[in-house]
Structure 1
Amino acid sequence: MSTLYRRYIDVLNRRDWDCLGDFVALDVVHNDRPFGLAGYRAILEQDVREIPDVRFEIELLTAEPPVEVAARMNQSRTRLRGNAVIPACNARALCCASARRPIA
């Protein structure tokens, strides 16, 4: 599972949106809000337009079979707002994911 998650983060960092379906379900739900794979991709594309140099770095990763994943992430980024560039910064986030069905 940890190898699969690292591959997913690599897809995000490479902006390889066509490969998202290898990691994200067609009917993905976040915080009880269904938005599907197409909606998730649209969110990521918008994020990259606003933060073109965003990069996800895994600091700590734990994966418990069959499907629980928790990761502490570090993001380095420069945010664009209109024509203004907000200075680069690093941000840490704790990301937890749980799949409702096994991932092949």
Structure 2
Amino acid sequence: MNAEEVRAFYRRYIDCLNRRQLNELDQFVNPTLTYNSDFISLYDYQEMLSQNFSDIPDLYFAVDWLIPAEDQVASRLIFDCTPAGEFMGIAISGKKVIFTEHVFYGLQDGKIGQVWSLIDKDAIRKQVSD
């Protein structure tokens, strides 16, 4: 895929997440992938996202930056949400927080095969302690 095709692919992937259509992830994600160096299955990835939606009922993936390449995507996502209880080991208990995720994807055979995710936990901690 060229950069514009990758951009369109990624936008469709994010739309799939925002529609919470996790049963459609096989259109975007390989049957096995690496997530922050861990080998996981598509099922594991779906379960992780399902847990995220459960923990954060108003979760919405807002793309701030999107840098597509032939077989890679770099993205900065912004979340403005209200986790229900604990999130990433941080007791939030229904407080609204805004944070970012910097996520990089490696594409293999036209689908996501690698994900590297870095979430700004310090921003979350600071908002909860204020």
- TM-score, normalised to structure 1's length? 0.89
**Per the alignment, in what secondary structure is the counterpart of residue 96 of structure 2?**
strand
Runs (4+) off by over 6 Å: none
Task: Tell me if 1:74 matches 2:81.
Answer: no
Match for 1:63 among 45, 59, 68?
68
* Larger RCO (CA within 8 A; separation ≥ 6): 2
Question: Matches of 1:6 and 1:90 in 2, distance apart?
Answer: 21
Runs of 5+ unmatched residues, structure 2:
1-5, 87-91, 112-130
**Per the alignment, in what secondary structure is the counterpart of residue 91 of structure 1?**
strand
Count matched residues.
Answer: 101
Question: Matches of 1:62 and 1:18 in 2, distance apart?
Answer: 26
Task: Tell me if 1:86 matches 2:94.
Answer: yes
Query: Which letter does structure 2 place at the counterpart of 1:73?
Result: L
Correspondence for 2:128: none
Q: CA deviation at 1:32?
A: 2.4
- TM-score, normalised to structure 2's length? 0.72
Correspondence for 2:23: 18
Cα RMSD after superposing both structures? 1.6
Question: Matches of 2:75 and 2:85 in 1, distance apart?
Answer: 28
Q: What percent identity do the matched residue pairs reach?
A: 27
Q: CA deviation at 1:9?
A: 0.5
Match for 1:102 among 94, 102, 109?
109
**Per the alignment, in what secondary structure is the counterpart of residue 60 of structure 1?**
strand
Runs of 5+ unmatched residues, structure 1:
none
**Per the alignment, in what secondary structure is the counterpart of residue 82 of structure 2?**
strand
